[in-house]
Amino acid sequence: AQTVTQSQPEMSVQEAETVTLSCTYDTSESNYYLFWYKQPPSRQMILVIRQEAYKQQNATENRFSVNFQKAAKSFSLKISDSQLGDTAMYFCAFMNSGAGSYQLTFGKGTKLSVIP
């Protein structure tokens, strides 16, 4: 079974600053996907960024980038130039890319507050 660990229950960052959210996972699989989802107070889960395990290059999406360390099973999210709208719960998630893979395994989440 896979497990996803987010060791920071809460974090805060000043507007325009950079913050890094940590995530580690445990799996015996070699092919999988990793995700960061954002859940603002509006409740909708929004995909922030996705990383395929076979790709060595770290994924980036505008102000969001990841540091994927496959050997260390680490998948941290860096948010640059933080904005008030980034205030949300952030969930790291794992999915096995094998056949019949439906389930996202989520970490417990990190509550991020962006301070004006």
Which positions touch other proteins (CB under 8 A)?
A: 33, 42-47, 50, 91, 95, 97, 100-104, 106-109
**Cβ of residue 17: shortest distance to other proteins, in angstroms?**
25
- Residue 68 or 91 having the CB closest to other proteins: 91
- State the nearest-atom distance from the C-beta of 16 to other proteins, in Å: 28
Question: Which is closer to other proteins, CB of 42 or CB of 57?
Answer: 42
| Structure-block tokens of residue 23 | 């995530």
Dist CA 69 CA 56 (whole Å): 9
- Of 18 and 113, nearer to other proteins (C-beta) is 113
Reduce the DSSP state of residue 73 to 3 states and report it. Answer: coil
C-beta of 74: minimal distance to other proteins in Å? 19
3-state DSSP call for residue 51?
A: strand
Task: Say if strands 19-21 and 24-26 run parallel, antiparallel, or are unpaired.
Answer: unpaired
Say how far residue 35 (Cα) sits from the centre of its chain: 5
Task: Please say which residue, 80 or 89, places its beta carbon nearer to other proteins.
Answer: 89
- Torsion over CA: 86, 9, 43, 20 (sign): positive
Least CB distance from residue 9 to other proteins, whole Å?
A: 9
